[in-house]
Structure 1
Amino acid sequence: MASTTKEVLTDLSPVIKVYTDGTVERLFGSPHVPPSPEDPTTGVSSKDVSISPAVSARLYLPKLTHPTQKLPILVYYHSGAFCLESAFSFFHHRYINLLSAEAEALVVSVEYRQAPEHPLPAAYEDSWDALQWVCSHVLDQTLLEKDQWITDHGDFTRVFIGGDSAGGNIAHNIALRAGSESLPGNVKIIGGILSHPYFWGSNPIGNEPKVDIEENFMYRLWLFVYPFSPGGIDNPLINPLAKGAPSLSGLGCSKILVCLAEKDQLTARGLVYVEEVKKSGWKGEVEVTVVEGEDHCFHIYDPETQTPSAKNLIRRLASFISH
């Protein structure tokens, strides 16, 4: 009798497994949930939109104080190591509802294509396309289909980008691209939020594990999501501090907030990133907050029931957007 046991091709537990028959098993994440006309906890309304054949998004509109109210716009990129989670997942839906309500911001949560089915740089291209689509709403004439919430309530003098983990990495790279390429209507990004950004490199920093690079999980994960990455783990997309990486002085926004967590192994590199931004000659303002006693993306996984840390961080993010 033939064995029914499938053969594993790539094992990146506890994140993802790929089998020789092409099956992909995602080992971490939360189920997809539908948008809600009015979230019972926050009063935020949400709906799903198609941006292009490859890209979609979930839009969040907080309760309005008056029918013509204009709101800051946050284009948000979700976490998940470029291969997990979704703009439509329970974790991110719950989190963005809370953030949209606290910040009184219109949020466009981007559903970008993921590895291994769509290796990088697909996620970066999709994320840029989504930002272009949002900014195109400022134009009178555009071939792209507009959304009424953005047209009626988006304030294009207050456009923000942000994300967590892989999404924080994306936000950094989108900000760099916005520094060299103009957006529709010459819209400018006011601020970028990098929460627990997924940066790595071949030379350990701080408390990063000092093991053979090819045995390092972060290294293996990066080559899984970007198999033909020029420069490998020192590609500027994952290592903005690498030799030959674009100057951080080119970041195309006015201010940046970098959020880190004390127990997160990505924090040491995040702190060095902040210092390098300050030294780069960039003309904007950079802020950093390190939350004591917490680990990677704690505010997404349990934003309501744990210690006040998550609620305080969400308030900090909201303040960055609304002031």
Structure 2
Amino acid sequence: MASTTTNPTTTTKEIAKEIPKIIRIYKDGTVERLIGSPFVPPSLQDPDTGVSSKDISISADPAISARLYLPKLTQSNNQENQKIPILVYFHGGGFCVESAFSFLDHRYLNLIVSQANVLAVSVEYRLAPEHLLPAAYEDCWTALKWVTSHLANSPINSDPWLINHGDFKQINIGGDSAGANIVHNIALRAGVESLSRGIKIIGAFLSCPYFWGLKPIGLESVAGHEQSNPFLAWNFVYPDASGGIDSPMINPLVPGAPSLAALGCSKLLVIITGKDELRDRGVSYFESVKKSGWEGEVELFEVEDEDHCFHIFNTETENAKNVIKLLASFL
């Protein structure tokens, strides 16, 4: 396996491949991640939100882990027979940077869990280029199946928080950016493959979803389209994708893609931002879901003067607080 570093270094080594300002691979096999927030440990009780968190292993081979979050339980819902909704969350980062254990995602999940009063499972899936797609998709599906297996008598690596407090009639999935892309693909898969004991996904939220395609749409620039970061990132993390940048995994609206009517959830929330280069893809996705014949409820929410995933990078602004409040209400 290639060696990996997460900090920029001064080097004269020759670059083999890169996504500018995000990640690069050198010809000696070294991988250098140029962005990403530092890892932080879980906490038994977060001082700001009261949320407790812990890290668990879902699978040793392949290596899949997660950070679990439990809100501060009141005396009434602390009883063993009291259950709360479950959120299975997939972090962003272009499938190649960031982590379920990073500061930004930890802070963000603490806020969502405390306001929504949900039990969250933030999945640490394998990253490219060490593990090219579809590894992340498979890891996230495995994690979802692990969560739902707790309804059985003897789940592997069972977790007491899920057993004691998880309401398996209220399972939600959600993600931001690449994580939102994963949400779409997991929801489609859940529409055709069964989860444990017939469990159904209730809600799915896609925040600033990472979708792209060969032909520019909306306000996307025609000049330099093939050199845009969304284009370069997909070729970096999934070079063997059937259809390339028009793979249904990244372009769910391409001719021949699976019907959006098959989405395996009951309600869908799409969040977009006005300054995000991915904005128009999110709008088209929302409109296509509405026209697909899908029988669930779909909502589009736009924050006009903000950029991609702003609500994760700066949680203290009024706009960010409104997004987190919206997510809490949705869940």
TM-score by length of 2: 0.93
1:11 correspondence with 2:11: no
Cα deviations by residue, 1:269-319 (Å, 9 ceiling, x for unpaired): 100100100000000000010012101000101112xx3000010000000
Question: Across the two proteins, how many residue pairs are aligned to each other?
Answer: 315
Amino acid at match of 2:229: F
Match of 2:204 among 162, 173, 192: 192
Match of 1:122 in 2: 135
1:242 correspondence with 2:249: no
Secondary structure of 1:140's counterpart equals coil
1:60 correspondence with 2:60: no
Match of 1:215 among 211, 216, 227: 227
Amino acid at match of 1:25: E
1:36 correspondence with 2:49: no
Match of 1:311 in 2: 321
Are the counterparts in 1 of residues 176 and 209 from structure 2 also a CA contact under 8 Å? Answer: yes
Counterpart CA distance in 1 for 2:223 and 2:245 is 14
Counterpart CA distance in 2 for 1:114 and 1:11 is 15
> Percent same amino acid at aligned positions?
62
1:88 correspondence with 2:101: yes
Match of 2:186 in 1: 174
Secondary structure of 2:21's counterpart equals coil
Are the counterparts in 1 of residues 137 and 182 from structure 2 also a CA contact under 8 Å? Answer: yes
Counterpart CA distance in 2 for 1:210 and 1:218 is 14
Match of 1:102 in 2: 115
Cα deviations by residue, 1:60-103 (Å, 9 ceiling, x for unpaired): 00001132231100000000000010000000000000110010
Runs in 1 of length 4+ with deviation above 2 angstroms?
Answer: 211-217
1:142-181 map, 5 Å: 142=155, 144-181=156-193
Cα root mean square deviation, aligned? 1.0
Secondary structure of 2:98's counterpart equals coil
1:65-80 map, 5 Å: 65-66=74-75, 67-68=78-79, 69-80=82-93
Secondary structure of 1:157's counterpart equals strand
Amino acid at match of 1:8: I
Match of 2:27 among 11, 20, 36: 20
Cα deviations by residue, 1:152-184 (Å, 9 ceiling, x for unpaired): 000011100000000000001000000000001
Structure 1, unpaired ranges of 5+: none
Counterpart CA distance in 2 for 1:12 and 1:170 is 20
Once the two structures are TM-superposed, the CA of residue 134 in structure 1 deviates from its matched residue by 0.2
Once the two structures are TM-superposed, the CA of residue 56 in structure 1 deviates from its matched residue by 0.2
Amino acid at match of 2:157: E
Structure 2, unpaired ranges of 5+: 1-10
Cα deviations by residue, 1:82-135 (Å, 9 ceiling, x for unpaired): 001000000000000011001000000000000000000000000000000000
Counterpart CA distance in 2 for 1:192 and 1:299 is 18
Match of 2:150 in 1: 137
TM-score by length of 1: 0.96
Once the two structures are TM-superposed, the CA of residue 213 in structure 1 deviates from its matched residue by 4.5
Once the two structures are TM-superposed, the CA of residue 215 in structure 1 deviates from its matched residue by 2.5
Amino acid at match of 1:312: N
Cα deviations by residue, 1:20-57 (Å, 9 ceiling, x for unpaired): 11111111110100000100000000000000011000
Amino acid at match of 1:19: Y
1:242-261 map, 5 Å: 242-261=254-273
Cα deviations by residue, 1:169-213 (Å, 9 ceiling, x for unpaired): 000100000000000121100000000000000111111121255
Counterpart CA distance in 1 for 2:118 and 2:20 is 36
Q: Comparing 82-91 with 204-213, which one deviates more in the overlay?
A: 204-213
1:271 correspondence with 2:283: yes
Amino acid at match of 2:12: T
Amino acid at match of 2:223: V
Once the two structures are TM-superposed, the CA of residue 14 in structure 1 deviates from its matched residue by 1.3
1:111 correspondence with 2:124: yes
Match of 1:262 in 2: 274
Amino acid at match of 2:320: A
